[in-house]
Amino acid sequence: MSGRRRRLILLTGVTGYIGRQLLPFLQQRGPAVRCLARRPAAARGALGGRTEVVEGDVLDPASLGPAMRGVHTAYYLIHSLGSEADFEALDRRGAVNFAAAARAAGVRRIIYLGGLAGPGDDLSRHLRSRLEVGRILRASAAQVIELRASVVIGSGSLSFELVRALVERLPVMICPRWVRTPAQPIAIRDVVAYLTAALDLPDGDSRVYEVGGPDRVSYAEIMREYARQRGLCRLMVPVPVLTPRLSSLWLALVTPVLARVGRRLVEGVRNASVVRDPAALSAFAIRPVGLREAIRQALEAEESQFAERPASQLLGAGTRADRPAAARFGNRLLDSRARTVPVPPSQAFAPIRRIGGRTGWYYADWLWDLRGLLDLLFGGRGMRRRRRDPEDLRVGDRVDCWRVAAFQPDRRLRLEAEMKLPGRAWLEFEVSGDARCSTVRQTAAFDPRGLAGLLYWHVLRPVHHVTWNGMLKALAASAAPG
């Protein structure tokens, strides 16, 4: 392995969106990677224990010295947008502390991802802070490679999630003037490619590279393309009112989970985020994809991850087995609950393996029959109580109104609904444990199609709550001895 590949890399923001996407590519390249995290235990759980994690916080200067020891290149992927405090002041403090620690440790290169905006623009607080952080890092004496990106398209990106929330929830959108602001969106894969390739740039002076996809589009066009790929019909009504400030308050009513960060992002959309300096195309052998392909990649990656990973891995850290958990994975809504039974996994899984057909659904079968009747009335398949085999299951088998999407004997069963729904639905069962005790986890997942799907999920949530609880309790009772 070459000396370049043996150089130690420090990755900050590893539990954030960009950091999580970047880490696997750094690991594949071969260099040693050290991750900085305020809560190392939580980070190790998210990373699966595959890389070194050290405790540290850019707001705590004393914690940075040990983390920087021996580091050649450091990635700075931190911001304070979600903080209740003055995020500009926090970003400034963090950058000053990081620059000082890098200087003291002799760090040779810092790679920083900032925001794309012209220096002469009347900048929002968010973009002004992003540019200020870059200036502070350049005072560290290290070579700073600053990549300034426009809207990042990827499942989990703040900008993309705001677009998703608006388009999915609003059949009619009142579009103020700022939705016509030009942007140059870039796919997350291309952002990660630039961040990784920055390791191989020659030593020398600090540089700023503006990166974006080939399409210059408005925010309205981004929303229209997302709606097209999701099969949603959306009416956009342009109006000359609603300032970004008022729009951000309106956004809080529509997307309360993203309200604080969303307000700060929307206040900055008055600034065009387009590439003015094409130097990145000469310095990097990367040709970013356009908007249509970027959104397709984002939705496809989300679909692939959902298909490959058990529901328990989609719930996030901190999910407790003793209480129901609600979560999101991309556009999918998850409702999960678990129960412990004093039997080995094979015995706990036995009633799950027999579900449907003549066995039934262990709780309130009349509700399932009623749902099947409603499905028939709307042109669906109905319940159709049948299975290929009462004991054996295979991927592709039909189980009443479901189809087996994933099956691992004594471990996991995922069913995908074939009923008429304003979206797509799955029901998953997982069993884990040892010879003495097992945990049975049951997760319902729903990918709502627009506002109708969201209303369907939330209106029926009380019914689902009773049904899922009753089913899980009955499954546990069927598995338990005596």
pLDDT (average), residues 51-65 = 91
Mean pLDDT of the chain: 88
User: In whole angstroms, what is the distance from residue 173 CA to residue 247 CA?
Assistant: 12
Q: How far apart are alpha carbons 101 and 80 in whole angstroms?
A: 19
At 436 the pLDDT is: 92
Same domain, 105 and 218: yes
Report the distance separating Cα 129 and Cα 137, nearest Å: 12
- Written as one string, the DSSP assignment of 63-102 is HHHHHHTTEEEEEE----TT-SS-HHHHHHHHHHHHHHHH
Q: Are residues 126 and 93 in the same domain?
A: yes
Domain count for the chain, please give it: 2
Shared domain for 213 and 184, answered yes or no, is yes
Range from 33-42, 313-322, 368-377, 430-439 that averages highest in pLDDT: 430-439
321 and 296 inside one domain: no
Q: Is the pLDDT of residue 340 over 60?
A: yes
Q: Which residues pair with 406 in a beta bridge?
A: 414
Alpha helices in 106-232 (DSSP H): 125-137, 158-169, 188-197, 219-230
Residue finishing a domain among 279, 303, 327: 303
Instruction: Give the confidence band of 83 by pLDDT, cuts at 50, 70, 90.
Output: low
What pLDDT, on a 0 to 100 scale, did the predictor assign at position 15?
A: 85
At 151, the amino acid letter reads: V
Can you tell me the mean pLDDT for 350-369? Answer: 93
Whether 384 contacts 419, CB under 8 Å: no
Residues 325 and 279 in one domain: no
Q: Tokens representing 62?
A: 């004393």
Side-chain half-sphere of 366: how many Cα atoms within 13 Å?
0
Residues 137 and 143: their CA atoms lie apart, in Å, by 9
pLDDT at residue 307 in the model = 94
Identify the domain boundary among 270, 303, 336: 303
Would you state the pLDDT for residue 186?
A: 97
Question: How far is Cα 64 from Cα 55, in angstroms, rounded to an integer?
Answer: 9
Residue 260 has pLDDT above 70, yes or no: no
- The pLDDT, as a whole number, for residue 273 is 87
State residue 257's pLDDT score: 54
The answer to whether the beta carbons of residues 159 and 265 sit under 8 Å apart is: yes
Structure token digits, residue 194: 């630039």
| Per-residue pLDDT at 479 exceeds 50 | yes
The pLDDT of 95-99, averaged and rounded, is: 95
pLDDT digit string (tens) for 189-226?
A: 999 999 999 999 999 999 999 999 999 999 899 999 99
pLDDT at 441 over 90: yes
Q: Is pLDDT of 247 > 70?
A: no
Q: How high is the pLDDT of residue 46?
A: 64
Q: Residues 22, 115: one domain?
A: yes
DSSP 53: E
Distance CA(360)–CA(69), nearest Å, equals 61
pLDDT, residue 16, reads 87
Whether the per-residue pLDDT at 159 is higher than 60: the answer is yes
CATH code assigned at 465:
3.30.530.20
Q: Which of 239, 272, 303 is the last residue of a domain?
A: 303
pLDDT the model gives residue 134: 93
Across the range 163-184, mean pLDDT stands at 84
Q: pLDDT-derived band of residue 3, with 50, 70 and 90 as boundaries?
A: very low
CATH code (residue 48): 3.40.50.720
* One domain for residues 330 and 407: yes
Contact present, 445 and 402 (Cβ < 8 Å) = no
The reply to whether 51 and 9 lie within a common domain is yes
Close Cβ partners of 159 (under 8 Å, ≥ 6 residues apart): 151, 152, 153, 265
Count helices and strands (H / E) in the chain.
Answer: 18, 20
Shared-domain flag, residues 293 and 340: no
Residue 1 reports pLDDT greater than 50: no
Can you name the residues that pair with 448 across neighbouring β-strands?
Answer: 423
Predicted pLDDT at 325:
82
Residue 34 token pair: 């050290």
Q: What is the pLDDT of residue 249?
A: 60
Query: What is the pLDDT averaged over residues 384-403?
Result: 92
- pLDDT at residue 211, rounded to an integer: 97
Residue 104 pLDDT more than 50? yes
pLDDT at 250 over 70: no
CB proximity list for 289: less than 8 A, separation 6 or greater: 187, 189, 190, 213, 214, 297
Question: Which pLDDT band, with edges at 50, 70 and 90, does 375 fall under?
Answer: confident
Q: Tokens for 382, please give them.
A: 């109905």
Higher pLDDT, 140 or 431: 431
Q: pLDDT per residue over 341-354, tens digit each?
A: 999 999 999 999 99
* Per-residue pLDDT at 248 exceeds 80: no
Look up tokens 């052998």; give the residue: 285
Whether residue 266 is found in the same domain as residue 370 = no
The more confidently predicted of residues 432 and 166 is 432
pLDDT higher at 126 or 306: 306
Same domain, 249 and 328: no
Mean pLDDT of 417-425: 93
Same domain membership, residue 293 and residue 406: no
Query: What is the span of the domain harbouring residue 261?
Result: 3-303
Axis crossing angle, helix 158-169 with helix 259-266, rounded to the nearest 10: 100
